[in-house]
Amino acid sequence: MLFIGDSITDAGRDRADDADLGHGYAMMAAAWFTARHPGHRAAFRNRGVGGDRVRDLRSRWAADCLSLAPDVVSVLIGINDTWRRYDHDDPTGVEEFARDYRHLLTTARERLDAALVLVEPFVIPLHDGQRAWREDLDPKVEVVRGLAAEFDAALVAVDAAFAAADTDDRVWTTDGVHLTPFGHAVLAQHWLRAVAPATD
């Protein structure tokens, strides 16, 4: 199984250790999946890269996804496509986002016949400036939901989950985007619900 995406997936993984999963949701989800389903003997890889947008993921897709031939591909991408609009005046249009994301999924399906897991991009706003990001992010979340339906992928609806959580948002995040260990645990829990195998 392959986790791929931006810094939330990366979570400090050691690039020198091909099997290192970082210290975030990917590591937690892999550990719990194996604990619950040891008979599957699943192998996990993490190819998150901090700062990536969907265009960056597309540029390294062949090397970091297709060449590994995973049977499950889990993608979390999109928040940097929104964030760069507000901190660098470098937006990613929703059409471009959808086009590049669809390319990733199409090639994964055609070249690997892999099962797909799509994680909603999210923001956990800590101030009014980040609340304004919803204008840009919401259409991208809708793209991910639509692609999940189009490609019969498992959808990890974590944007909605964080929005519905009844607690101080700083429990989940340090800056509105990057997660605390508790936020990573929530994401891992939702991932496991979406990916639980039908049988052991």
If DSSP codes are grouped into helix, strand and coil, which group holds residue 6?
coil
Residue range 113-140, pLDDT digits in tens: 899 999 999 999 999 999 999 999 999 9
| C-alpha distances in Å from residue 56, one per residue of 48, 61, 119, 180 | 11, 9, 17, 25
Q: Where are the domains of the chain?
A: 2-195
Secondary structure of residue 130 in the 3-state scheme: helix
What CATH class is the domain 2-195?
alpha beta
- Give the DSSP H or E segment for 48: strand 45-48
- Read off the pTM: 0.96
pLDDT tier at 76 (50, 70, 90 boundaries)? very high
Tell whether the model's pLDDT for residue 198 goes beyond 70.
no
Chain-centroid distance, C-alpha 37:
22
Average pLDDT (54-83) is 98
Cβ neighbours, 10 Å, residue 113: 8
Q: What is the pLDDT of residue 160?
A: 87
